[in-house]
Structure 1
Amino acid sequence: MDLPPEELQFLTTTDILKESISIPKHSPKTFYLITLTLIFPLSFAILAHSLFTAPLLAQIQQYPHGSHSNQWTKLLFFQFAYLIFLFAFSLLSTAAVVFTAASLYTAKPVSFAATLAAIPSVFKRLFITFLWVILSMVTYNLVFLLFLVLLLIAVDTDNALLFVFAMIVLFFMFLVVHVYITALWHLSSVVSVLEPVYGIAAMRKSFELLKGRTRMAGVLVFGYLVICGAINAVFSTVVVHGGGYYSVFSRIVVGGFLVGVLVIVNLVGLLVQSVFYYVCKSYHNQGIDKSALYDHLGGYLGEYVPLKSSIQMENLDV
């Protein structure tokens, strides 16, 4: 992030990862506390929730014709609580990392206390943006289900080769859209923190920023999803369902190691989306006024913000 803004557009995927990994070194204490209080609980919950749901599902599957109202009640309640916890800590972690990284970028004094003070204001903006993203995800999932139903009706299921080919094409299209919307979500989250827009306006802004950098965003998001999927698969195989093959000690060690790896992956992922924002801005020749961004970040802390400050050298009135 010490590069001139106009040179950030030339960063490759590897360069973005290197820059992201180097950011915590500028304020190790702050990022250590953010990781410990926000990213670690998030990562632990992502992996550990299957430890609680697996026994309930096993009971239901073992006696499929029995009465499982109690198990279903526990399962639904736990899943609801888990989703609330997951979304809350995901937004909190995003707010903390993006705000802290931007503060370092503008040479603003960084501390864990300042980050905590800024989170309430940032969280509201991120939450509104998140609701619009959820609406988009629900829409494209409904469209996918509609196409799946039409496929089952239109394609001759007796022709196995044609049916498998059609399913592969459909799921490939679904994966591409899913990766794109995920990239849009991550970039919109950064925009919501660093610019005076949020919600659908932040999504429109992110849509424009992604032009020309969609392939790079896809590689970063797909790589993140694959790594997280591999971690979850190993955790499920060894820790959750490996009781008959692995000792308790081995499962604890592997589980602890995987949680640690996921913590690092999530932290780097949040830093990557911050750096990627600056890369996109540079690619579109949208200069960032660091003094204006400094004032914008100070607004979250109740500091004085000049009335005519602008985060970039263009009109951002929306």
Structure 2
Amino acid sequence: MDLSPEEFQFLRVPDILKESISIPKKSPKTFSLVTLTLIFPLSLVILAQSLFADTILARLYQLIEMPTRTGSQAMLYKLLVLQFCYIIFLFTFSLLSTAAVTFTVASLYTSKPVSFSSTLAAIPIVFRRLFMTFIWVSLFMIIYNMVFLGFLLLLAIVENVVLSMFAIIVVLLLFPFVHAYVNAFWHLASVVSVLEPVYGFAAMKKSYALLKGMTLMSFVLVLSYLAFCGVLNLVFGWIVVHGGESHAVLTRIIVGGLVVGGMVILNLVGLLVQSVFYYVCKSYHHQGIDKHALYDHLGGYLGEYVPLKSSIQMENLEA
């Protein structure tokens, strides 16, 4: 992270990827340990979705075949517990990985001493801030999905079939872009929660402001990540999960290892990209980051002295 605040505004998608990939070279030991302890489990959890989907379908089929009500209720209970644990593990490791990578990248940017121990020491406080932001974003996403499903339901009951089908197709075509925007909004709010003295709704407000004028670039970055993630999940499901009869055990093991490795790299690069993208957005809006203020802000996570007023927050959020 040798770029000045002004130079970030000239970065485009290929430049952001190049800059992101170069960051781990500045502290390979720290990023290796973060990847092994946090991003690797996160990647396994994401790929486990294929296994969970198989389990869910098999259990649902068994529920239909169950002759007794008691057996069906027990199977349904196990299914709900399984899904609940999956969601908890997914979002926990996602927040932990975000906290660790964002803090480490910012430390390198401010020339603050970087180590795996300092990153671990900062995670508890950073995690609490990220969790509050996640709760607010989750409420927003629940409302957004309810409105989306309600709109589809309304279109489905319209008597004019042709108009209804046309409207549904248009909505479904727009959904990937809306979904990409919501993801960019969420991830940028997460970075804001770590690097600025705001979190929760204030971080969401700041994220919305930073995304103005950067929507197209955020679409490209998020949709690219989701596309690669989808391909890896498809390969994992097709060969590793469902390939018992058509593929040898050794082939499934090799492909599974390659897919897991690819998912780990993809998630690491994705987390690095969202940190760099934050600096690009700040530079685009001419909100230069005071490295000294950011240095002090990061030190606050480690119990170091933090001045009462920080110039990292460049504009009044109450405006």
Please, what TM-score do these two structures have when normalized by structure 2? 0.94
Pair 1:147–1:236, CA change in 2 (3 A): same
Retained in 2: the 8 A contact 1:289–1:312? no
Cα deviation 1:102-151 (Å, max 9, x = unaligned): 00000000000000000000000000000111111111110111111111
- SS of the equivalent of 1:64 reads helix
Q: Which residue of 2 aligns with 1:11?
A: 11
Retained in 2: the 8 A contact 1:296–1:305? yes
- SS of the equivalent of 2:111 reads coil
CA positional deviation for 1:52: 4.8
Match of 2:120 among 104, 116, 123: 116
Pair 1:8–1:154, CA change in 2 (3 A): same
Instruction: Tell me whether 1:23 sits opposite 2:23 in the alignment.
Output: yes
Instruction: Tell me whether 1:201 sits opposite 2:206 in the alignment.
Output: no
CA positional deviation for 1:312: 4.7
Q: Aligned partners of 2:146 and 2:12: how far apart in 1?
A: 35
Q: Aligned partners of 1:97 and 1:59: how far apart in 2?
A: 38
Quick one: percent identity of the two aligned structures?
Answer: 67
Q: Which residue of 2 aligns with 1:35?
A: 35
Matches within 5 A, 1:1-318: 1-61=1-61, 64-67=64-67, 68-154=72-158, 156-157=160-161, 159=162, 163-315=164-316
Retained in 1: the 8 A contact 2:158–2:164? no
Amino acid corresponding to residue 22 of structure 1 in structure 2: S
Retained in 1: the 8 A contact 2:294–2:312? yes
Retained in 1: the 8 A contact 2:202–2:317? no
CA positional deviation for 1:317: 7.5
Please, what TM-score do these two structures have when normalized by structure 1? 0.94
The structure 1 segments of at least 4 consecutive aligned residues displaced by more than 6 Å after TM superposition are: none
Amino acid corresponding to residue 141 of structure 1 in structure 2: N
Pair 1:155–1:276, CA change in 2 (3 A): farther
Deviates more, 1:48-57 or 1:93-102: 48-57
Amino acid corresponding to residue 30 of structure 1 in structure 2: T
Q: Aligned partners of 1:155 and 1:16: how far apart in 2?
A: 49
Where structure 2 has 5 or more consecutive residues not aligned to the other structure, the ranges are none
Where structure 1 has 5 or more consecutive residues not aligned to the other structure, the ranges are none
Q: Aligned partners of 1:267 and 1:152: how far apart in 2?
A: 41
Deviates more, 1:166-175 or 1:59-68: 59-68
Retained in 2: the 8 A contact 1:21–1:268? yes
Deviates more, 1:221-230 or 1:65-74: 65-74
Retained in 2: the 8 A contact 1:310–1:316? no
Q: Aligned partners of 1:110 and 1:316: how far apart in 2?
A: 31
CA positional deviation for 1:57: 2.3
Pair 1:289–1:243, CA change in 2 (3 A): same
Amino acid corresponding to residue 284 of structure 2 in structure 1: Y
Cα deviation 1:253-299 (Å, max 9, x = unaligned): 11111111000000000000000000000001001100110000000
Q: Aligned partners of 2:276 and 2:186: how far apart in 1?
A: 15
Retained in 2: the 8 A contact 1:289–1:313? no
Please tell me the root mean square deviation across aligned C-alpha atoms, in Å: 1.7
CA positional deviation for 1:167: 2.2
Deviates more, 1:187-196 or 1:74-83: 74-83
Pair 1:155–1:11, CA change in 2 (3 A): farther
